[in-house]
Amino acid sequence: MKIALINENSQAAKNSIIHEALTSVVEPLGHEVHNYGMYTADDAAQVTYPMVGLLTGILLNSGAADFVVTGCGTGTGSMLAANAMPGVFCGLVIDPTDAFLFAQINDGNAIAMPYAKGFGWAAELNLQDCYRKLFEGESGVGYPRERAEIMAKNRGVLAELKSKTCHDMVTVLKNVDQDLLKAAIAGEKFADQFYANAKDDAISDYLRAL
């Protein structure tokens, strides 16, 4: 699995802590981590939480990533922005129980975490425990197990509902503020990582044309 990490500007200084916690858990499981930044608070490309939503939509809909780990001060803004995109099912994860239940019940493709609120002593241990609960086992199994069938049905209903309420990603890219979009993909490593992994030519071609 290709896991993309995105930090918005208010929590950019914590990127290295988050990246280390994520890679220490998922790389031994055979997953790849692609760090899209921000890398420091002083990066030239400043990513706001609405841009996190755009990036999440681009990465997941293009196939450049299979899962996105993101967040902001509370996690809520990034979650809302990500869920505004087609094909994105993002949960708010604060502790390992959230991570476990999101993976088992909702089987989504993105999480948003709070990197300011409650981010204190041993915060990196909480991150590691959350990532273990997300990525160690099989997702979508259901909890409690006796409700697995109805949970899977409800995920399908939600996916169908979202497909009717959202445009496809190329249409989104064409209709959003183009300066906002350009800023969202201006990260120093975006082009190198994205175009090497994207599987959707229409999305790639539109972004290259910018």
Phi, psi of 33 (to 5 degrees): -115, 125
Half-sphere exposure of 19 (CA within 13 A, CB side): 18
| Structure confidence at residue 119 (pLDDT) | 94
Summarize the confidence of residues 28-51 as an average pLDDT: 97
Q: How many structural domains compose the chain?
A: 1
| Structure confidence at residue 127 (pLDDT) | 98
The residue type at 199: K
- Which residue is it, tokens 């994520």? 22
| Structure confidence at residue 26 (pLDDT) | 98
pLDDT digits (tens, 9 = 90+) for 137-191: 899 999 999 999 999 999 999 999 999 999 999 999 999 999 999 999 999 999 9
Portion of the chain with pLDDT greater than 70, in percent: 100
| Structure confidence at residue 190 (pLDDT) | 97
Cis amide linkage into residue 38, ω under 30° from 0: yes
pLDDT digits (tens, 9 = 90+) for 53-91: 999 999 999 999 999 999 999 999 999 999 999 999 999
| Structure confidence at residue 43 (pLDDT) | 96
CATH of the domain at 116: 3.40.1400.10
In terms of residue numbers, what domain contains 39? 2-209
| Structure confidence at residue 28 (pLDDT) | 97
| Structure confidence at residue 210 (pLDDT) | 92
**Order of strands across the sheet with 67-72?**
32-35, 2-5, 67-72, 110-114, 90-92
| Structure confidence at residue 2 (pLDDT) | 98
| Structure confidence at residue 109 (pLDDT) | 98
| Structure confidence at residue 94 (pLDDT) | 98
| CA-CA-CA-CA torsion sign (112, 4, 8, 84) | negative
| Structure confidence at residue 49 (pLDDT) | 97
| Structure confidence at residue 203 (pLDDT) | 98
